[in-house]
């Protein structure tokens, strides 16, 4: 029987052509696939490869910034994660939007605040109508509130169904507000020195930690983290424990603020409190007035303002006279010259202290001159031929030897170097020049510039029997609660003077506050614990209306610096402190006794009571 193969073969030319076309299409398709695979595998830099490969994105991982702590571990500065939330108004379908937008408006008003529910509703509907893709809903949303936000109507649908977007960032928090703000400092985005202030700026390398990196694969729906070899974890910043005692800092801040806040003539002011034995800074307050008249910590005057110290320098003069043997006792008598002293044709009058009515016998004891701060007596003491009179350079060398004019390597940057004129400086400069009247004026704290930090460091050495400790702010670097680096107290000078000289200075300084003729008696004699110290008032150079600089203008206005520096309790000092107030030009007096001493007393009283309790 013969097979019938007619159905297995083409019966016409048309069928032959159709079959050929299909075979051709199959061959072409297979060829394209082979080419595409070849391009991807062997030609990775080609356009096809770039189109086909998934896109990658490198994201910098920011570490959590370390905390700044006080000496007892209380947080002065810390970081928290905050969120900015936005909404793509075009994503959610009408079925979700129309049903849930009212509930979203109510929840936003309740949780975020700042608007009523109706106001939020109008804002959302307006964004929807305009097709806003990045409608801002809120900034600075806390971690607590972000959990609530994620459950709100529409937003709970997520990025691709509801249009919800959130961006995390870090916010620096200061639990004690503006207290010690300039000392704690801040770091802003750019690296300009003006944006790297205080402990935050000086110790940024410790606090910041190390950035990490995560490579993501981008897709239409999400960014997927990869296991790329570039990936590295962020290393969180280390904590810094400071020497600041926030209780003492708060006491000093309140005492100074209460004195200067309501007095518009006060330009700026500061307080420093040191622990006597170590030099540890327990408080550093800086209050100034900005262009709008507002009081705040705008600058660190304690280390950056260097001006003539005035009569607080008499303690330095007395130390030099005792150490050189030009004085052996405070009972030494000095002629008053009826209140008039002449040196190199320069005449100085101090009739208030040394006039014949007060000292009819014509002589004054050194201790009396010190406690009442008699200018001419101290001029005469250093200018005497049997003293430094024949060798002023020796006096400058001596006081520089005390470490008073060293630039202190302080923990935070920006401290102004101190300065003192020397006999060799005859040429006129912006700092002045040496002339016939320079040397006697040095006895009362002119011809030099000293920041408050240097002055209090010297007096702390007197309280410490002559041993000068370097003031410091940072005690420990910590990681996960463990100390990784410790900064112990540092001795600047083992002895700036003998113990006998230090004891003599202590007696002289205690009479300033305990004897009725002392310049700070009426402000400090009733203090909770005995205080020893020295007042100081200095005239400041300022620009007058005629464009020139001077100490007094045609209207009799002066700009003054009032200060008080001392230590307490007298018998066994635990703290040394300085208070300085700088005033704008005025005809009023801003003496150290009336402006700085009362602040010092309030600080000493409260610190003493704090320690007793």
- Predicted confidence (pLDDT) per residue in 255-284, tens digit: 999 999 999 999 999 999 999 999 999 999
Pairing label, strands 68-69, 239-242: parallel
Tell whether the model's pLDDT for residue 481 goes beyond 80: yes
Of 217-226, 366-375, 567-576, 577-586, least confident by mean pLDDT is: 217-226
Of 185-194, 321-330, 355-364, 432-441, least confident by mean pLDDT is: 185-194
Listed in order, strand segments (DSSP E) in 97-211 are 135-141, 164-173, 186-187, 196-197
- 257 sits in which H/E element: helix 246-260
Tell whether the model's pLDDT for residue 546 goes beyond 90: no
| Cα 502 to Cα 322: distance, rounded to the nearest angstrom | 10
Question: Which long-range contacts does 403-407 make (Cβ < 8 Å, 24+ apart)?
Answer: 403/457, 403/458, 403/461, 403/468, 403/492, 403/493, 403/496, 404/316, 404/450, 404/454, 404/455, 404/457, 404/458, 405/448, 405/450, 405/454, 406/454, 406/492
Q: Are 565 and 520 in contact (CB under 8 A)?
A: no
Tell whether the model's pLDDT for residue 613 goes beyond 90: no
**What pLDDT score was predicted for residue 547?**
83
Of 82-91, 186-195, 356-365, least confident by mean pLDDT is: 186-195
- Decide which of 226 and 223 is more confident: 226
**What pLDDT score was predicted for residue 48?**
41
Average of per-residue pLDDT across 91-117: 95
Of 231-245, 303-317, 424-438, least confident by mean pLDDT is: 424-438
Tell whether the model's pLDDT for residue 222 goes beyond 70: no
**What pLDDT score was predicted for residue 2?**
47
Of 37-41, 64-68, 81-85, 486-490, least confident by mean pLDDT is: 37-41
- Predicted confidence (pLDDT) per residue in 488-545, tens digit: 999 999 999 999 999 999 999 999 999 999 999 999 999 999 999 999 999 998 888 8
Q: Enter the tokens of residue 408.
A: 């202190």
pLDDT band at 54, cuts 50/70/90? low
**What pLDDT score was predicted for residue 426?**
83
Tell whether the model's pLDDT for residue 455 goes beyond 50: yes
What is the percent of the chain with per-residue pLDDT over 70, rounded to a whole number? 90
Of 290-299, 438-447, 538-547, least confident by mean pLDDT is: 538-547
Listed in order, strand segments (DSSP E) in 124-238 are 135-141, 164-173, 186-187, 196-197, 212-218, 223-225
**Among 463, 73, 75, CA closest to 279:** 463
| Cα 195 to Cα 189: distance, rounded to the nearest angstrom | 8
- Predicted confidence (pLDDT) per residue in 368-408, tens digit: 999 999 999 999 999 999 999 999 999 999 999 999 999 99
Q: Enter the tokens of residue 461.
A: 């050495």
Average of per-residue pLDDT values in the chain: 90
- Predicted confidence (pLDDT) per residue in 547-573, tens digit: 888 889 988 999 999 999 999 999 999
Of 34-38, 325-329, 531-535, least confident by mean pLDDT is: 34-38
Tell whether the model's pLDDT for residue 42 goes beyond 60: no
Q: Are 456 and 365 in contact (CB under 8 A)?
A: no
**What pLDDT score was predicted for residue 44?**
45
**Among 475, 24, 527, CA closest to 240:** 475
**Those residues with Cβ within 8 angstroms of residue 123's Cβ, 6 or more apart along the chain or in another chain:** 115, 135
Tell whether the model's pLDDT for residue 320 goes beyond 90: yes
| Cα 164 to Cα 230: distance, rounded to the nearest angstrom | 30
**What pLDDT score was predicted for residue 321?**
98
Average of per-residue pLDDT across 162-191: 89
Tell whether the model's pLDDT for residue 46 goes beyond 60: no
3-state helix, strand, coil split of the chain in percent (to 5) is: 35, 25, 40
**What pLDDT score was predicted for residue 43?**
44
**What pLDDT score was predicted for residue 190?**
58
Tell whether the model's pLDDT for residue 51 goes beyond 50: no
- List the beta bridge partners of residue 365: 333
Tell whether the model's pLDDT for residue 6 goes beyond 90: no
**What pLDDT score was predicted for residue 348?**
96
**Among 453, 601, 598, 442, CA closest to 590:** 598
Q: Are 579 and 271 in contact (CB under 8 A)?
A: yes
Average of per-residue pLDDT across 95-124: 96
Q: Are 466 and 501 in contact (CB under 8 A)?
A: yes
């Amino acid at each position: 029987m013969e097979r019938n193969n007619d159905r297995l073969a083409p019966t016409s030319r048309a069928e032959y052509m159709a079959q050929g076309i299909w075979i051709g299409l199959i061959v072409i398709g297979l060829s394209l696939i082979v080419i595409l695979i070849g391009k991807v595998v062997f030609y990775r830099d080609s356009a096809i490869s770039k189109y086909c490969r998934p896109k990658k994105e490198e994201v910098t991982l920011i570490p959590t910034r370390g905390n700044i702590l006080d000496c007892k571990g209380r947080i002065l500065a810390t970081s928290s994660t905050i969120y900015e939330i936005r909404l793509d108004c075009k994503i959610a379908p009408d079925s979700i939007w129309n049903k849930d937008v009212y509930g979203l408006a109510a929840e936003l008003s309740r949780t975020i605040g700042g608007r009523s529910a109706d106001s939020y509703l109008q804002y959302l509907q307006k964004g929807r109508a305009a097709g806003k893709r990045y409608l801002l809903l809120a900034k600075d949303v806390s971690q607590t509130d972000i959990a609530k936000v994620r459950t709100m109507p529409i937003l709970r649908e997520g990025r691709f169904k509801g249009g919800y977007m959130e961006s995390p960032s870090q916010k620096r928090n200061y639990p004690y507000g503006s207290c010690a703000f300039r000392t704690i400092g801040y770091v802003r985005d750019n690296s300009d020195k003006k944006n790297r202030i205080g402990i935050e700026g000086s110790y940024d390398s410790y606090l910041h930690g190390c950035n990490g990196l995560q490579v993501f694969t981008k897709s239409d729906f999400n960014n997927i983290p990869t296991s790329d070899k570039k990936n590295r974890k962020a290393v969180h910043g280390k904590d810094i424990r400071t020497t600041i005692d926030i209780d003492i800092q708060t006491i000093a801040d309140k005492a100074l603020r209460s004195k200067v806040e309501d007095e518009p003539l006060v330009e700026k002011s500061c307080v420093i409190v040191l622990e006597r034995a170590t030099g540890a800074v327990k408080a550093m307050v800086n209050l100034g007035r900005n262009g709008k008249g507002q009081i705040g910590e705008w600058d660190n005057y304690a280390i950056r303002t260097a001006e003539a110290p005035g009569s607080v320098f008499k303690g330095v003069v007395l130390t030099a006279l005792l150490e050189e043997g030009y004085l052996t006792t405070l009972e030494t008598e000095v002629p008053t010259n009826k209140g008039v002293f002449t040196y190199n044709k320069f005449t100085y009058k101090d009739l208030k202290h040394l006039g014949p009515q007060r000292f009819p016998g014509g002589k004054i004891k050194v201790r009396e001159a010190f406690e009442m701060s008699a200018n001419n007596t101290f001029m005469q003491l250093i200018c005497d031929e049997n003293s430094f009179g024949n060798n002023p350079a020796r006096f400058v060398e001596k006081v520089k030897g005390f470490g008073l004019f060293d630039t202190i390597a302080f923990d935070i940057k920006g401290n102004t170097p101190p300065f003192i004129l020397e006999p060799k400086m005859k040429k006129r400069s912006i700092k002045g020049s040496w002339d016939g009247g320079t040397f006697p004026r040095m006895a009362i704290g002119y011809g030099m510039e000293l920041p408050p930090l240097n002055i209090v460091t010297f007096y702390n050495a007197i309280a410490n029997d002559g041993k000068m400790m370097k003031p410091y702010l940072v005690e420990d670097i910590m990681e996960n609660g463990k100390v990784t680096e410790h900064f112990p107290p540092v001795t600047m000078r083992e002895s700036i003077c003998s113990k006998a000289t230090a004891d003599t200075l202590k007696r002289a300084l205690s009479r300033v506050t305990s004897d009725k003729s002392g310049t700070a008696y009426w402000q400090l004699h009733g203090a909770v614990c005995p205080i020893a110290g020295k007042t100081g008032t200095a005239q400041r150079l300022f620009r007058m209306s005629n464009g020139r600089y001077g100490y007094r203008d045609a209207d009799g206005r002066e700009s003054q610096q009032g200060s008080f520096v001392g230590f307490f309790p007298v018998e066994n000092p635990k703290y040394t402190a300085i208070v300085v107030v700088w005033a704008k030009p005025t005809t009023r007096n801003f003496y150290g006794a009336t402006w700085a001493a009362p602040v010092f007393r309030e600080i000493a009283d409260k610190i003493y009571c704090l320690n007793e309790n």
